[in-house]
């Protein structure tokens, strides 16, 4: 989603979307760690969309909603 469309949304909806994106990122990270998903492109796009949401929230002077769980670090590549 483009930032211009996000600016038209209200604060509560932006916060809800940011939390949903964070939960999806958690699930994707877990799946990628288990070798179940090949969704690296989806993961990257979701991270960028969440960053846009948080930027728009910051522009509006609102704090993002607190996540229920602390996100896990991104998986690291294995050295050869």
What is the C-alpha separation between 13 and 15, in angstroms, rounded?
5
Task: Report the distance separating Cα 49 and Cα 31, nearest Å.
Answer: 20
Q: What pLDDT sits at residue 21?
A: 92
- The answer to whether residue 65 scores a pLDDT higher than 80 is no
Q: Is residue 66 very low, low, confident or very high in pLDDT (cuts 50, 70, 90)?
A: low
The SS3 assignment for 1 reads coil
CATH 3.40.50 assigned to domain 3-59? The reply is no
The total number of residues shown for the chain amounts to 80
């Amino acid at each position: 989603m483009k930032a211009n469309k996000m600016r038209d949304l209200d604060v509560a909806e932006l916060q809800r979307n940011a939390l949903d994106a964070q939960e999806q990122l958690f699930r994707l990270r877990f799946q990628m760690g288990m070798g179940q998903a090949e969704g690296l492109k989806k993961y990257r796009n979701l991270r960028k969309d969440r960053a846009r949401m948080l930027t728009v929230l910051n522009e509006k002077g609102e704090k993002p909603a607190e996540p229920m769980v602390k996100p896990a670090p991104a998986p690291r590549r294995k050295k050869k």
